[in-house]
Amino acid sequence: MADQTSAAAADPYRKLGKDLLRNIHRIMVKARVLEERLIKMSKSGDGYFWIGGPGEEAFNVSLGLQVKKGQGPEFDYLHLHYRSSAIVLGLGGPVIDTIRQMRCVAGDPYSKGRNFVNHYALPKWNIVPVSPTIETQYSTAIGTAIAQRRVETDAITIVNGGDGGTAEGDFHSCLVWSNRPALTLPILIIVINNDYAISTAAQGQHGERNISDWGKVFDMPARTVNGNDVAQSYLAIKEALAYCRKERKPYLLEARTSRLYGHSSSSGANRIAQADCIAEFEAKMSERGMIAQEEIEKIWQENLEEIDKAHQQVKTEPFPTPESIWENVFAGPLPPSYPTKGGS
């Protein structure tokens, strides 16, 4: 009996508690329903290219909920990649704005209808523009982290990206710059390892056993976790954030996840038989009596209705005008001397 009681007390799911877990679950479902709608839009011609994060919800929602969100160096900076919708929903971002970016309407607040879907940019929450060029976010992260060393704050810089991209120099620049003893940087360096870079399998690239092993070179804290597991993800993120906030040093966190619809619409975006973090989470919550089957079904239904409504709304919204291409760019309109179509 005593053993059973101590086992229950040690259970990370019980430690996190029913209210938090139910909140995480609701946002994970929202993220999945949103991504599946985006895929449908891409396939039905109601949007264009799709790339996103189905399979990363357990880790990403757990992260989004723990960010210190706001604008300026006293808040966390986010240098994200294109599979981060569940992080933004975890922060409280509305689903309709991602649908706006998918349909490329003028009201898309992240790029005014000009960028790929899931390419967020949001000054009010320090979300630095997501780049389709992979891995550059690990370089820009250095800049905001240096700024955060110059002010009295516990805020940090958070960067995420994929396993394939770690072959590029930007990831290693981030490790080098954040570990200089003269000015260590408060960066949570995240790598989401889904085993593939488009169609290149991990064995085709990685000689290191774990990507987190790169941390050994710098004698920095580093860990690999099961990113499909909510409790493991949430607690690992909590520990890593606390370390970076207090020590003003970097932490390398690798999360192993699924990639449930393949790389992008370019590879078909069809469902793949891999571990599904939401199904696994629902089973764990049910086993512990934290949620009933009817409630689970209701949450899926409510989210479907919310997405439907948002999608219908976005279909009524205008596309950007051709002239607006010159808005929000560093360069002004073309000089009069520039040869235009049919001109000299």
Question: Could you tell me which residues come within 8 angstroms of residue 209 by beta carbon, excluding any fewer than 6 positions away?
Answer: none
Our CB check for ligand TPP shows the closer of 96 and 225 to be 225
Position among 4, 5, 133, 337 found at the interface with ligand TPP (CB under 6 A): 133
According to CB under 6 A, which residues from 244 to 283 bind ligand TPP? 263
Closest separation between CB of residue 73 and ligand TPP, Å? 28
CA–CA dist 105, 318 (Å, integer): 6
Which residue type occupies 137? Q
Q: Are 262 and 270 in contact (CB under 8 A)?
A: yes
Closest separation between CB of residue 187 and ligand TPP, Å? 18
Our CB check for ligand TPP shows the closer of 133 and 344 to be 133
Our CB check for ligand TPP shows the closer of 204 and 333 to be 204
Q: Which stretch binds ligand TPP (CB under 6 A): 39-47, 66-74, 115-123, 161-169?
A: 161-169
- CA 324 from centre of chain: 29
Structural Rg of the chain based on CA atoms = 21
Q: Is 342 exposed, middle or buried (0-12, 13-18, 19+ CB in 10 A)?
A: exposed
Q: Is 50 in the site for ligand TPP (CB under 6 A)?
A: no
Position among 30, 79, 83, 284 found at the interface with ligand TPP (CB under 6 A): 83
Residue 275 vs residues 132, 202, 259, 271: alpha-carbon distances, Å: 27, 17, 9, 11
Half-sphere exposure of 25 (CA within 13 A, CB side): 26
Closest separation between CB of residue 162 and ligand TPP, Å? 2
Closest separation between CB of residue 147 and ligand TPP, Å? 25
Question: CA torsion sign, 83 to 86 to 87 to 91?
Answer: positive
Q: From residue 54 to residue 73, what is the string marking binding to ligand TPP with x (rule CB under 6 A)?
A: --------------------
As a dihedral over the C-alpha atoms of residue 62, residue 68, residue 73, residue 79, rounded to 10 degrees, the angle is 20
* Rounded (5°) CA angle 308-111-166: 100
Q: Is 164 in the site for ligand TPP (CB under 6 A)?
A: yes
Q: Which residue is nearest to ligand TPP (CB)?
A: 162
Our CB check for ligand TPP shows the closer of 237 and 255 to be 255
User: What residues line the site for ligand TPP (CB under 6 A)?
Assistant: 83, 132-134, 161-165, 194, 196-198, 263
